[in-house]
Structure 1
């Protein structure tokens, strides 16, 4: 039996914020990897490498969020069916993807997740400063990645 570190009623909101972030980061990491495998075009090589680095960073961030949830006594749920059901992201197209198409997909997806995580940062300010600090770092990284992809749009 797991014992919660915090039994405040608002801990359920913290858990929900962490779970939603976990789902979004997991889906975004899978989308980045899917794009990594299927990108085509003149910018294949730099995008292929950038997408791989993005996917790795997102998986690391998802792991940190899940571990924070577990430290609070909440069992994080990153199962594929949960992610598919709860993610707000659009489904990435199957098959080959043009380099410019991949850039647009990544900018849109990073924008969605960065905005949602930033809203949670504000929400967590009074509820759980430790979780807030974690999500500040996640938001920073998402915004930086969005900028790096956005700079490639023509």
Structure 2
């Protein structure tokens, strides 16, 4: 019924909460909330994508990848919860619905279905690169204005970068070369990883 539900704020830099934490203005709080809003979407998307890969990976490396991903899912879900709670602490309303995620995200949906482990790992390397780059940009943007949020994002990065290393270990040659090289985009990176792996075998 009309008036029963409050609509979450749109993804707009003009959003300002009615209150925020002491020591920050409502405008500053609103700015941080909007940065966290996309981080929340990215982390929710990552958790779903990791689970999708967990279900759809096939081939000789199946069990190693299948079992590697569930702890990553659990850790990313904890990041989601911490991010949503930080948004609420700052006076915002965390948007956790699938509709909000798909309407506001700035990236395409993960496109690899049932596929060999190397194809998925190559694609995941690209996914992690995008999330880590955007998290680092949010760390830089919160410097000075909100050290608590910055600390939260840095803590996320410790795990996200570690998880990318786990993924990249499957793509790296004995000589230390990353099979995906400078490729960008999850579909392209996945394809390059498969081509490189077939050359090495």
Q: Over aligned residues, Cα RMSD in angstroms?
A: 1.5
**Paired residue for 1:133?**
151
Secondary structure of 2:143's counterpart equals helix
Q: Work out which of the two has the higher radius of gyration on C-alpha atoms and give 1 or 2.
A: 2
TM-score (norm 1): 0.92
**Paired residue for 1:4?**
20
CA displacement at 1:89 relative to structure 2: 3.7
**More relative contact order in 1 or in 2 (CA 8 Å, sep 6+)?**
1
Secondary structure of 2:142's counterpart equals helix
**Paired residue for 1:79?**
97
TM-score (norm 2): 0.72
**Paired residue for 2:35?**
17
Cα deviation, 1:58-89, whole Å, max 9, x if unaligned, reads 11101101111111111110110111222234
Q: How many residues align?
A: 153
The answer to whether structure 1 residue 53 and structure 2 residue 71 are counterparts is yes
Q: 2:121 aligns with which of 103, 106, 120?
A: 103
Question: Where do 5+ consecutive residues of structure 1 fail to align?
Answer: none
Answer yes or no: is the 8 Å Cα contact 1:27–1:89 preserved in 2.
no
Cα deviation, 1:82-131, whole Å, max 9, x if unaligned, reads 11222234322364121011101110001100010011101101110000
Partners in 1 of 2:57 and 2:70 — Cα distance? Answer: 11
